[in-house]
A and B are shown apart, each in its own frame.
Chain A
Amino acid sequence: DSGVTQTPKHLITATGQRVTLRCSPRSGDLSVYWYQQSLDQGLQFLIQYYNGEERAKGNILERFSAQQFPDLHSELNLSSLELGDSALYFCASSVGAGTNSPLHFGNGTRLTVT
């Protein structure tokens, strides 16, 4: 168990809808990252937050947004969903914002858009 908690585990929704994925980092970790794993794109970095502030942005669509709250949990909001957004979404956390600690991943949220 990595200590990173993601909810829900599974989500099935229709095109055009909006969903929110939630992540609680490991105790003591200040950084949260979101990754998307799809069959065609593999594992892609979406966005990073450190102590409530956005730190880095990757291949995140404009229809997607995220935030990190004062209690350090994070939410990833996906709107105007398309079939191609179906994927496994991972949250990861680490102690700092730099590269001196590994990322620990949650179990992921499997999103299915029908």
Chain B
Amino acid sequence: AQKVTQAQTEISVVEKEDVTLDCVYETRDTTYYLFWYKQPPSGELVFLIRRNSFDEQNEISGRYSWNFQKSTSSFNFTITASQVVDSAVYFCAIILTGSARQLTFGSGTQLTVLP
């Protein structure tokens, strides 16, 4: 069965600092998708990114960037020049292709950005 580990339970940074959220996954499958979701204090789950296991290109979207390394089974998420509005719980998740669509989530990282 697949598993996602987010070892950082809580991270606190000061505004404008860069911060990296770690995600390590386990699966025996060779094809899968990885996701990041954001859960702000209001509670909703916001989709941020999906990455196919065959696509190891890093991606940048504004202040957000993702580093996918299959060799280390990691899919880390970096926020550059953090802002108070980035304060949220961030979840990494995995889903296997060809299977019923069970998203397996990590336990989440609570990011607090202080002004």
Contact = CB atoms under 8 A, between A and B. Distances in A.
Contacts of B46: 2, 105
B67 to A, nearest CB: 19
Interface residues of B, number: 27
Interface of A: 2, 31, 33, 35, 42-43, 45, 48, 55-56, 58, 88, 90, 92, 94, 97-99, 102-108, 110
B7 interface: no
B45 interface: yes
Interface in B23-59: 32-33, 35, 37, 42-47, 50
Nearest to B44: A107
Contacts, number: 65
Contacts of A58: 102
B101 A107 contact: no
Contacts of B33: 99
Contact of B47 (A35, A99, A102, A110): A102
Interface stretch (B14-22, B69-77, B79-87, B89-97): B89-97
A98 B45 contact: no
A46 B1 CA distance: 16
